[in-house]
Structure 1
């Protein structure tokens, strides 16, 4: 399966999840939210595993993916964020939080047409969302469409003075 490329997506997924959790070295063992990085003697690994807390309450898969996507976006990996967020968007296409996170990732990865489309849709649904108005205005500005951006920037600034 791996020789035919079948494991590529699974490996990519695991690498993105690790990156989102802040894992920077290989090998790294993560148990119960704690990490043991680098090559370690067997005794060290055994002690680490003995100290590991029991299985706690797991987050629903969608929530975990959303949080990991947020982490990747914060770590300046918007394409990785979109990759982890894709199943959430497929399963919950109307979820406003997931849609806005995707719009932010589109903006950060210079997919301005996609960002604009999502932000316009969200602004139409809730014109009083100041941050959506601000992001739509910035997206239009980044495309050199200042005249179109102006009304959105003014709306955002009138609702939230820090956006002015």
Structure 2
């Protein structure tokens, strides 16, 4: 079973404000769709409620919430990180897609991070947990220096991961 994070964050680890993305980047949503399609996506309630069309198509949607009143089509509701882990697909990549608290809870279980690094700072109310980059191998996938804000697509793979050694 593998867990990956997919996230866009700014230089100050900002990921959102007012339950919305900080900015809409050209191609970033297409990249998100391409990477996550056919797999499981795991998110918190606020992230789910921020999706304009509800459950993401062509993906298994798992929502972690303490709310007992959440009842939507095409989602599975769990009450904890452990419960989400227990029902994930053991033969596919499972993607953590937000928000800040869910990223923090899953970070110890993650092997890979698909990162859109936005090369500026934003005022925000939701942040990604600070990363120790020495624990990750960083690969530059692509860089956009033409548009504002400038951003890079990076793939971070956890170093010394036992699964990678077997």
Query: Aligning the two structures, in what range does the TM-score lie when normalised by the shorter sequence?
Result: under 0.3
Larger strand share, 1 or 2? 2
Asked which structure has the greater RCO (Cα within 8 Å, sep 6+), the reply is: 2
Q: What TM-score do the two structures reach when normalised by structure 2?
A: 0.27
Larger radius of gyration: 1
Larger helix share, 1 or 2? 1
